[in-house]
Structure 1
Amino acid sequence: MKHLAFFLFLAGPVTGQTCPEAPDHSAPVGALLLQIQEAPDETSAKIISNELWEYYADAPDDVAQEILDRGMRKRAAWDFLGAEEDFNALVAYCPEYAEGYNQRAFVSFLQQDFQAALPDLERAIALSPDHVAAMSGRALTLIGLGQAEEGKSALEQALALNPWLPERSLLPGLKAETNSEEEL
């Protein structure tokens, strides 16, 4: 019966089916973030970061996991319309699952639709406050919107959790930009 429901979901909208609560990975995610902060080098931090993704991408059930995985495959193939449709379906089915919002925001970001990305990133962070990818995505989105000061602050918050994020290279330029704006 479970498999029948899964295939019915793939065929069209789910009626009468609800998403279970997302798994609580806060303890292992917190432990991994502490390990990243203590990582001796970028390579070590990347290995730990990959472990984080296993938790972020752990959907509440098989139906949600299939939608997430399918949307991510479409996004990786630059099928943004298809990916967005899948992430819309995931958010509709599992409105309390942070990664649905984060992935939908990523598709919007890749299309440079920063206005659409920002609320999804904020929702992902509200649901998963230590979601470093959503935090760094929010920083990049704010920068894309021309809000350098807010972007710098958001990036600093993300870097406090993971000082090895690739986006760390943007911080000196943002500091210089916001300092020069303050001087005007």
Structure 2
Amino acid sequence: MRCLAIIPALLALAAPALAETCPPAPDLEPRKSELLAAVRAAETELDARLLTNEMWELWTTAPDATAQEWLDTGIERRAAYDFEGAVNAFDALIDYCPDYAEGYNQRAFVNFIRQDYQTSLDDLERALELSPDHYAALTGKAMALYVLGDQPTAFTVLRRALDMNPWLPERHMLPPEMQPQSGKDL
């Protein structure tokens, strides 16, 4: 157990030395475009969930083994409710790969859980700059805005996410006048 506590500290120390070595992320655009089109056209919620699972596989494909290790460590630490360890791993990932959107998205999720909504929003903004079609990051942004009391903006952002994936579970948060006119969303 003691060794697990040391891992985040080692990751944080190693990140600055490696910051220049992150390779570009693999080109996943063709598959991502296919999945975005397929999830918009999905006939059932189950079909959409399966496609979203594939999308998560793309989003969580890091640029190299080092980045993947930090991403996986952060996700594991979050699942174990070690939020400090998770943030440390995601900090190291972002230091190493500052242009990898999922590092910001995952750190935003941990900060949302920790109820640090503004920090979460800052990371989501960066994730969306890097990956504008990341509908999970858009949904996270909508949730953070909602909790912060900015429901009109939250609903607008959620509507944008629903334009990419009309099956998102959060679709039911929209007021009736903003609900899509598709049978999928009713």
- 1:65-116 CA-to-partner distances (Å, cap 9, x unmatched) read 0000010011011110000000011111100000000000000001111010
Using the size of structure 1 for normalisation, the TM-score is 0.86
| Offset at residue 173 of structure 1 (A) | 7.0
Contact 2:12–2:89 (Cα < 8 Å) also in 1 = no
Aligned with 1:20: secondary structure? Answer: coil
Contact 2:73–2:86 (Cα < 8 Å) also in 1 = yes
Q: Corresponding residue for 1:181? A: none
| Offset at residue 11 of structure 1 (A) | 8.7
Q: Corresponding residue for 2:14? A: 13
Q: Corresponding residue for 1:88? A: 91
Q: Corresponding residue for 1:49? A: 52
| Offset at residue 36 of structure 1 (A) | 0.7
Q: Does 1:105 align with 2:108?
A: yes
Change (3 A) 1:174 1:103: farther
Q: Corresponding residue for 1:180? A: none
Q: Does 1:137 align with 2:137?
A: no
Q: Does 1:123 align with 2:119?
A: no
Contact 1:149–1:174 (Cα < 8 Å) also in 2 = no
Q: Corresponding residue for 1:3? A: none
Q: Corresponding residue for 2:7? A: none
Q: Corresponding residue for 1:24? A: 27
Percent identity (aligned): 50
Contact 1:67–1:90 (Cα < 8 Å) also in 2 = yes
Partner Cα distance (1:143, 1:174) in 2? 17
| Offset at residue 27 of structure 1 (A) | 1.9
Change (3 A) 1:138 1:68: same
Query: Amino acid of the residue matched to residue 31 of structure 1?
Result: E
Listed as ranges, the gaps of 5+ residues in structure 2 are 1-9, 180-186
Partner Cα distance (1:147, 1:56) in 2? 28
| Relative contact order, higher structure (CA 8 A, sep 6+) | 2
Listed as ranges, the gaps of 5+ residues in structure 1 are 1-8, 177-184
Structure 1 segments of 4+ aligned residues over 6 angstroms from their partners: none
Contact 1:148–1:174 (Cα < 8 Å) also in 2 = no
